[in-house]
Amino acid sequence: MKTLVIVAHPNLANSVINKALMERLQQEQDITVHDLYAQYPDKRIDVEREQKLLLDHERIVFQFPLYWYSSPSLLKEWQDVVLTYGWAYGSEGTKLRGKEFSLAISIGSPEEAYQAGGSNHFSMSEITKPFQAMANFTGMHFLPMYLTHGANTITTEQVNESAEALVQHLKSSF
């Protein structure tokens, strides 16, 4: 299955976990890694190019660090301009129908912070509802997410383990 991983990190060069995840994914033949901030430093998204990338893959993954309980701004802009009426949704918008969709998110806080009674008061499932709704609205099947908690304190060994685990996660058939 051809997988497209859309990476959205505004400072990837200084990232520990997202940079390592991306570099590991780039070694896989059936995974296309697409770095939005590198591709569009001027934030002018080529809609036709992006839509073609989506058409050429069966599984779509957004990889990003959690910023203010959401994704970095360029990924939201990408959604707004690429997932258009008549293409991604609406009576004629069926281009994504039947594709698989998932998230690979790095989170600075530990796992216990994102659950009932945790310091953030909401689970990651609750926080990612807009992405789940987007997948549903465009006819994609939302797959289990891959979450890397504790990104602010992660060790090199844990980074490497997380990168390998993400590859296995993306290769699983769910």
Task: Select from 40, 125, 114 the least CA-distant residue to 75.
Answer: 40
If one counts the domains in the chain, the total is 1
DSSP conformation class of 113: G
149: pLDDT confidence band, cut at 50, 70 and 90? very high
Nearest C-alpha neighbor of 131 from the set 122, 120, 141: 141
Task: Answer whether residue 174 shows pLDDT above 90.
Answer: no
Query: Once rounded to an integer, what is the mean pLDDT over residues 1-30?
Result: 95
Between CA 130 and CA 136, with CA 134 as vertex, the angle to 5 degrees is 115
* b (16+ CB within 10 A) / e for 135-169: beebbbebbebbbbbbbeebeeeebeebbeebbeb
The angle formed by the CA atoms of residues 123, 11 and 163, to the nearest 5 degrees, is: 60
The CATH number of residue 67's host domain is 3.40.50.360
> What pTM, to 2 d.p., does this model score?
0.96
Range of the domain at 16: 3-171
- How crowded is the C-beta side of 94, counted as CA atoms within 13 Å? 3
Of 111, 136, 134, 135, the C-alpha closest to 122 is 111
Please name the residues in contact with 26: beta carbons below 8 A apart, sequence gap of 6 or more: 33
| Residue pLDDT, tens place only, 42-90 | 999 999 999 999 999 999 999 999 999 999 999 999 999 999 999 999 9
Reported as a pLDDT band with limits 50, 70 and 90, residue 19 is very high
Instruction: Provide the percentage of residues in the chain whose pLDDT is more than 70.
Output: 99
